């Protein structure tokens, strides 16, 4: 017997597991297709920590959410609602993956290595960059642990509120540390410009 989506959704709300499996089998190709699309986007941006199965599992969570929140009275197809839920979930997943504060520190060490070893057209600029980076590293190494952690978190786009919660420091200390670091960077930056 063939059921349409609305009948299956009504049966699912009555805890019919067979109806859930029928609806899932119907939309599994859509979930897998979108999972592959967003997984490839992550791979193309050099994010390899997650697998295709992680994206498919995210699709299943969006499918469950769509079933729970779908409202038949809004004159919308379940397919359209599920598609928008999948798109929203995958978009949010990628946004979180690509946020600087969620990238592993190893990536930054590799990036630092690439910056220091890059071949630039003007050799004087390359030397200036090496000296600038060395000065900045010396400055960061001379900070105490908490101040260094504050700057690391700020460089990685953590908000003041998040830093307060993580490090148990007040806003005044964060302001002071950030202001001093900006002043130092401007000082050595002006040195290399002049």
Model confidence pLDDT, tens digit, residues 138-179: 777 788 888 888 888 887 778 888 888 888 899 899 889 888
pLDDT at 62: 92
pLDDT band at 59 (very low <50, low <70, confident <90, very high): very high
10-42 tens-digit pLDDT: 888 888 888 888 888 999 999 999 999 988 888
Tokens read off for 83: 């598609």
Checking if the pLDDT of 60 tops 90, the result is yes
Q: Is the pLDDT at 106 greater than 70, yes or no?
A: no
DSSP secondary structure letter of residue 100: G
Spatial contact of 56 and 32, defined as CB atoms under 8 Å apart? yes
> For the chain, which domains are there?
5-98 (1.10.1740), 105-193 (1.10.10)
Closest C-alpha among 171, 123, 135 to residue 150: 171
Instruction: List, in order, residues 6 or more apart from 139 with CB less than 8 Å away.
Output: 181, 184
How many Cβ atoms sit within 10 Å of the Cβ of residue 70?
19
More confident residue, 35 or 184: 35
- Per-residue pLDDT for 117 more than 70? no
Q: The tokens of 164 are what? A: 């307060």
Dist CA 129 CA 141 (whole Å): 18
Residues 90-123 as b or e (16 or more Cβ within 10 Å = b): beebbeebeeeeeeeeeeeeeeeeeeeeeeeeee
Statement: residue 188 has pLDDT above 70: no
Average pLDDT of the segment spanning 49-73 = 88
Confidence of residue 114 (pLDDT cuts 50, 70, 90): very low
C-alpha distance across the termini of the chain, in Å: 81
Query: What global pTM score does this model have?
Result: 0.51
Higher pLDDT, 97 or 36: 36
């Amino acid at each position: 017997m063939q059921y349409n989506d609305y009948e299956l959704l009504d049966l699912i709300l009555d805890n019919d597991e067979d109806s859930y499996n029928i609806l899932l089998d119907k939309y599994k190709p859509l979930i897998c297709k979108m999972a592959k699309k967003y997984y490839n986007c992550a791979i193309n941006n050099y994010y390899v920590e997650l697998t295709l199965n992680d994206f498919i599992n995210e699709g299943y969570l969006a499918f469950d959410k769509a079933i729970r929140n779908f409202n038949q009275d809004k004159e919308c197809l379940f397919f359209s609602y599920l598609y928008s839920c999948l798109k929203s979930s995958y978009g949010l997943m990628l946004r979180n993956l690509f946020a600087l504060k969620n990238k592993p520190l190893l990536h930054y060490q590799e990036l630092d290595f690439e910056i220091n070893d890059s071949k630039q057209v003007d050799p004087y600029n390359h030397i200036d960059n090496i000296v600038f980076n060395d000065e900045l590293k010396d400055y960061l190494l001379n900070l105490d642990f908490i101040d260094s952690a504050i700057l690391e978190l700020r460089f990685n786009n953590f908000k003041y509120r998040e830093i307060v919660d993580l490090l148990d420091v007040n806003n005044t200390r964060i302001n002071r540390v950030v202001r001093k670091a900006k002043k130092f960077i401007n000082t050595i930056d002006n040195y290399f410009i002049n």
